Each structure stands twice: as structure tokens, then as C-alpha cells.
Chains A and B, each alone.
Chain A
């Protein structure tokens, strides 16, 4: 078996202005780097745009999935650092959606020299409510969530996995498969869900040392307003921008507004 490079492992794609300031976009729990397709054309004009899939998602190398490494968000953060190092990036604008916003915080703590700015879209450092803290979910909610994820394997089948994962450049193979952007091995999806929804990274927020933008949507069940305020308060010097967009994925539902907010920050 040939060794897998970081670029192969994380299905890294670089586009845009190579000499521009690098922007690394990290997708959250659920789908893959396709989540950014509506916002990146704007940034490609004057930035070097880096997209990747977390290991276990999209077209990443499933054989690189290590249950122990990915049993905490630090494992994912380490991958982000490796990607930036392999590409020789610096002064990176890290745009993290949902759980990846927190992964960005951890990556910046692991390798502060790489990062120049952080954009956190719909961040939530702890989903489970705690004494004096509202994360938006009870433990029972999370248990129910994990159960309903188990009910949706989204067209995954072990026999098709090699076809789906092994041929990222031949989309026609997967076209006939439903829900192609969000499928993955159910066991990996389950563990990613557990790590996403059962982590507590509140203590990491005060350590952020780069300019940070918090993008908060309206009516976001996954990252309620109170959580956005909490993150804004805890990340030193952060900017909080409230979007008109509703839901959890403004980069899809309101790409222009999202882009404009990021540009205004940068």
C-alpha cells in the first residue's frame, strides 16, 4: 500500500489566486467541502482557497481513519495543522463551519504561527447545557440525535464504498447514488457525531490570539444566539456579526451575505 499524503488523506484542493492570502475552509459535521461551493468563487478572485474533507467525510481516505486519534477534536485540529504545513501556508484565514470553528481554535493553539485570522460560522463550544451555560441541548436531546443519525445511512453500503470513495474524479459513478455529499461510513459518522456534540471546548476560547469573526444566524437550532454571544464574549477581541440568514448553513442559504460579512471582517 502506498503511503497516503496529507493532501490525499484529506482530499485537499487548492484554487484561486495562488499569491493571495490563504483561506482554509473547513466543513462541519454532516457533509463535505461541497458546502463551500457557493462562497468560494468570490474569494478565489483574490485569495488562495484551500478546501479539504475531514478524514471520514466526503472523499477523504477512509483507511486513514483512526478511532483513537479522532476520538477528540484535537485529532482533527492536528490534521488542519498538517495541511497548512504541507502547503507551506502562513497568515491563514481559517473559516470553520459549526464544529470546525472549534477545530480552528484548537489548530491555532497547536500552531499559532500558521494562523492570521479565524472565522467561526455557527460555533458551539459545548452543545450540552451545563450549570449556568446554555448550549441548546439536553443530554436526552443528544441521545435522540445520535439515534436519528443511526436511522439515516444515506445510501451508504459497504459494497459501494470503494466506488464512492475511490473515484472522486468520476462523479458519474456516484450520480446514481442518492445524497452523495453527506454519506459516509455510518460508524465513522456516529463517532464524529459523538465527538462533535459531546465535546466541551469552552476553556479553549480565551486562548484565541488572532482576530476572530463570529457569524451568527437567526433561528439556528444547532448554535443558538446565546451561544454566539458566549463565544463572542470569551474570544478576546472577537467581532460578532448577526446574519439575516436563518438556519445553520448561511454559506448555502445566504452565500452573498456570508461572503460580504467575511470580507467586511477581513
Chain B
């Protein structure tokens, strides 16, 4: 028997039955949601699938608006995109929307819709299908989250790269501060940022707490920085720390909380700035809405600690900033060093060219302001006590105040005045801040106080000039409050400057002493005015050189010999110094001694030549020796290498052709000295002179001699005094490289 296989299978019939299923059932139980709405969103039809997915009965959905079933983002998107698109293109496809279930959970959907229009094109109905897209949307969100994370990471990398490249170009501490403040603000989208440094490479902004100085702030109010500095003490944080403006902060740190609120910050991030292990300072980043910027998405006070990635970024920024600051500080120090070295070099050049003590200190004072200081005052130690010789201000507007200071005489010893202290102790005094107490101690009268106050002096450095253990004076440098305070490096430069000045001043003082001594010596060595001789008028002149170390060896003498004759001499000892002057003195004495037996001029030369080694005279000399008989006018002249004498007679001038023999002190000539013999006519004038007269304005001797002839010929005077004055006036200037001796003698009628 066969197996009962049951009713015959009719696949075709079953399929037909399924295909013939009630379309209403298909609508209700389709694998997607169906929603039909009026153009304004009012739901007029919805299927069971949608109701099942959302947990909302049809009765609740119908009559409500479709957009009200969406989350807030969906509602906005509906208004800004979905509705306009339907109106404009009649259909939308694959719009991602989140439908709210009745329990508040979210059903991620993809929606496609068409707008049904009437014959006039007016919208009648919107038919929408919704497919659940939970898995797909989750995947998309993960992709998006990964993309956002990658973007954030890239943004951090970009921020860091930007910082590194900007810092590479930052030269000064200020540059570094500007970069780090601006960049960190951008990186964290912060409302403000500020850089505070410990023992900053340059001095600060007038904040009174030692140790921590605000270098730069953008949007972080100084009172907040100050409050934080007080809270932190002098030790900046080691790790990145964040501070939130929350109830706890308000309770525990009300002052800081108040400053945060006043600044509009919801929190702070404090980032250590360090190089290796050295803590240089902190970067303060204020979190909050950027003024004029977009509203933060975070609820006020809801912000938790900053993300770990941002902490890493900020730590790195802090380290980069630290290294850049060290680099900048080194660079600035090098630049300052170079500038100081340049200054000292300039000082050396200027001082080398200065001629005397006064000029030296004046030049130094001019040099010091404003490069090294605002005000430079120099006091010299003199026999009469301290004497203020220079006071220069770098600002021309304040020079009158400096001039007033110049009138101030420092009180005698025992005062706290840094200049006096420096002189008394022989070492540098550095007053970092000239406060009222000290001002009261060092000023002499109310006007002095007023002057110093008007100068707004801050730091004062007084450095003595010491040479050979002797304090010669003191230079005082002052910085006013507009300038950054002095540093140890400034003091060092001031000391080096003082050392240079000390050497120059010592040399100049020694020289001035020498000059005074030589001139005194020379004046004493020169003879008294020539004796009056009947029938003769005589005039003599001696002019010392005006600069250099010149002290003359020129001399003249007029001596009455026994028997009525007159002996004349004009000579020039080689060299311009005390030795020359001394040699001249000896020579003049020896010459007088030789005159005892009234020798002829040539004999004088021969005797001097012969005895020169015995006399021990250290210099050679030239000289003209002459004798004159006043009664007859008989004249005998011999020359030891000297310029010829001038004869002026009746408007005619000529040099007498005296044959010169060798200079005194040169190896003696084999033959005796030659002698010129003649008569000085009545009314004629004889002029004996040294080369200073003809070499004063020109280095060419012949030109000088020609000028002498011309001037003498044109003088038209028989008075030897007038002639001397005329010759000196015409032939010499205010500056003489050499000294001049001049002797003129007129034979009266």
C-alpha cells in the first residue's frame, strides 16, 4: 500500500493565495513603516509596523505632527532640509532621522518620501517610508566618531606643528610669549591665555611679588593672574592642572572663583613651562566662551577635566615653550653681550682721542646715555674735595634736570650717597631701587629732592675710577623708571667703562701735572726780561706749544758783557718734554758761565761742542750766538745748526747769510765754527727766532721763511715789541705744535 502523503501539494495555489493577500495587510504589516501626512506634517495615516517600532498606538500618532515624533535634531532638519526639498523636488531619499519611541529611546531610521500634488501643483499629501537603520547608523556613527577623533588628533598635530615652526622663528622672549599664548589659546579654543615666568630673563611689568612675572596675557585679567600667583607661591606647578569654576572652588577658594567669574571663565588649565628639569614658569589657559565668538556647547559649570589628549598637547606645548624660552634668553644675552662689547669698544675709541681729564669724562658721560643708562653723573676727587664735572641725560627733555644735578655738591664723607660710598670704599655701589628712605638720606636740600623725583630714578650704579690704588673719581649711572632695571651685566659694563676711564684719567692727570711742572720749570729757567741798554730797544717772547705733550726746549738770553758789549742767544733743544726743558736750563747756565771772558760767538760754539760730553747734556740743540757793540753797531754771529737771523732795515727784510756749523751735541766739526761779521745800521732791527715761528702754519720751512720775510717787510715799525706781536699774530695760530722763542733788537738812532 502506498504512503499517505496527505493532501496533494499545490504550490501554485499557495503562492497565489499569498500574492492575493489583502493589500491592507501588506500596508499594515510591511517590513517598513508607512506614514502619510498633510503638507504641514499632520499624520493622517500610519501603519502597524511603525506603531510597533515606536511603541505608539495609531490613535496617538494620528492627528499629531510627524516632526513632533522626531528628536530635536530631526525636527530642525525636517524644517531646514526635508520640507524644503519635498516642496522643491517632490521627493527625498535616504534621509537619516531619529524617531522617538514612546519610552523616549531613539529609533534610527532612513526616510524616503514623495509629495502628492493636485493638478495645480499644490501639495496634498506626503507619503513616507521609514526603514530601521540601527545597525547602519551605529556603524556610520562609529565611522564619524573615528573621523572626528582623527580630525581632532590632526588638529592637535597641526597646532603642535604650528607652535614648533613659529617658535623656531621666535628670537626674543617676547616673541616666544606671543607665540605660545596665541597658539595655546587657539589649540584649546580658549577664552584667554597668559604666560607667567619665574625669574624672567628680562625684568618685569611692575608687579611687586618677587619670582613670578606676567610676561604676556591675552584675555586673562592681571588681577586673576595675581590671585593665582599668590595662591601658587613661588613654585609653579609640575604637571598640567585644571581648575573648574564649581561649587567646591567657590567654597574653598572664593577669591579665585570670583576672579574666574569676573573674567568670564568656566575653568582654567595651568600648564608648566619647563626646560629639562628647570621650571621656568606656567602657561595659564582660561576656558570659557571666547568674547564675540561662538557659544560653547558645554553647559556652564558642566565641564569636566580637559581631555587626556589635550593634556598631552599642553604638556608638549609647555616643554616646547620652555626650550624656546631658554634659546631666546640665550640669544638675548648674547645680543646684549655683543652690544655691551660694542659699547666698550666705542668707549675705548672715544676715550683714546680725548685730550684732558675734563674732555675724557664729558665724552664718557655722553657715551653712557642713553645706551647704558638714562643719566650719567661724574664726580672727580680734587684737592678741594669732590667736584662734579659732568651730568648728562639721554633724554634731551630731561637734560635741564641733569644740569641742576650738576650744581649739587656732594655732602662730605659719611653719607649714604652711592657716589660717596663708592669713593670711600673704592668699590662699586649698586642701588637696585632708589626708594624714598634712601632718597631722604642722600639729598642735600628740597630742590635736590625735587630734581631727583622729577628724574624718576630707579636703579643707581656708582663705580669709582681707581688707578694705582688711588680713587680718582666716580661715575654714577642711573636708570629711570621708563627703562628696565639694571642687571648684573650692566654693572659689569659700568665697571669696565670705569676701568678704561680710570686709565685715561690717570694718564691725563699725570700729563697735566707734567705740563704744569714743565711750564713752571721752563718759566723759571728763562731769564728775566733783558736789561735796558742805552741806544738799543729789545723785545723777547716765549710761547709754549698748545697741545700734545710739548714742553719746549727753546730759550733766549740777552747778557751785557764786560766792556759794554751785548751777548745774544736764541736756541732750541731737541724734544718737547721735561728733559728738553732741563737741558735748555743747563745750556743757558753754561752759556752764561762761558761769557765771563767775552768770547767771540764762534768760540762759544767751539767750547760748547768741546765740553758737551763733559756737561752730560742729554739732548742736542741748535742755537745762534751773537755779540753786538751798541755804540758802533758791530755785529758778530755764529750758528750751531740754527736758522739764520733776520735783518729788517728801512722796510727791507733779509736773512743774514750766517754759515751754520754742526748742531751742539753732534760730533764736533773738524774746523772751527764760521762767523758772520757786519754792522747793524741805525734804525735797523735784528730778529733771532726758533723754528716754531716759521713752522707753525706750514710744514714747509722755505714757505715759512718766505712768509716771515714778507710779514717783517710789511710791518713798517721800528719798535721791536710791536714787531714781535705782529710776527706772532701773522705767523702763528691758536694751536702751536712747537714752542717759539723770539728775540728782536733795534738799534736806535
Q: Give the interface of A toward B (CB within 8 A).
A: 28-31, 34-35, 37-38, 71-72, 98, 126, 128, 137, 139-152, 154-155, 178-182, 194-195, 198-200, 219-222, 246-249, 252-253
Contact = CB atoms under 8 A, between A and B. Distances in A.
A139 B299 contact: yes
A198 B85 contact: no
A152 B294 CA distance: 23
Given A145-B73, A198-B297, A221-B75, A151 B141 contact: yes
Pick the 5 closest A-B CB pairs, nearest first.
A148-B73, A30-B80, A248-B79, A198-B294, A151-B96
Contact of A37 (B65, B88, B141, B293): B88
Contacts of A71: 294
A71 B292 CA distance: 11
A221 B67 contact: yes
B297 A180 contact: no
B95 interface: yes
B108 to A, nearest CB: 8
B706 interface: no
A164 to B, nearest CB: 14
A249 B79 contact: yes
Contacts of B80: 28-31, 98, 182, 222, 248
Given A144-B73, A147-B73, 7 more contacts: A72-B293, A139-B297, A145-B77, A151-B144, A152-B96, A178-B92, A252-B83
Contacts of A126: 295
B79 A246 contact: no
Contact of B294 (A181, A194, A220): A194
A198 B298 CA distance: 11
Contacts of A30: 79-81, 84
Given A195-B294, A198-B297, A152 B84 contact: no
A179 B84 CA distance: 10
A98 B84 CA distance: 13
Which of B85, B93, B144 is packed against the most chain A CB atoms within 10 Å? B85
Contacts of B67: 221
A37 B93 CA distance: 22
A35 B84 contact: yes
A145 B140 CA distance: 16
Contacts of B73: 141, 144-149
Contacts of A98: 80
Given A128-B295, A221-B67, A141 B72 contact: yes
Nearest to B293: A72
B67 to A, nearest CB: 7
A145 B84 contact: no
Contact of A150 (B40, B65, B144): B144
A139 to B, nearest CB: 5
A195 B144 CA distance: 20
Nearest to B106: A144
B238 to A, nearest CB: 34
Interface string B492-515: 000000000000000000000000
B41 interface: yes
B76 interface: yes
23 contacts: A30-B81, A30-B84, A31-B88, A72-B293, A126-B295, A141-B73, A145-B72, A145-B73, A148-B96, A151-B96, A152-B95, A152-B96, A179-B93, A181-B85, A181-B89, A198-B294, A198-B297, A221-B72, A221-B75, A247-B41, A249-B79, A252-B84, A252-B87
A55 to B, nearest CB: 18
A31 B140 contact: no
B541 interface: no
Contacts of B89: 179-181
Interface in B130-178: 137, 140-141, 144
B84 A181 contact: yes
Given A180-B89, A181-B88, A246-B40, A143 B297 contact: yes
A182 B84 contact: yes
B463 to A, nearest CB: 55
A198 B295 CA distance: 5
A30 to B, nearest CB: 3
Given A195-B294, A222-B79, A222-B80, A253 B40 contact: yes
A166 B94 CA distance: 24
- Which of B75, B76, B88: most chain A Cβ within 10 A? B76
Given A35-B84, A181-B88, A247 B40 contact: yes
A178 B93 contact: yes
B71 interface: yes
A128 B289 CA distance: 13
A247 B567 CA distance: 135
A29 B39 CA distance: 21
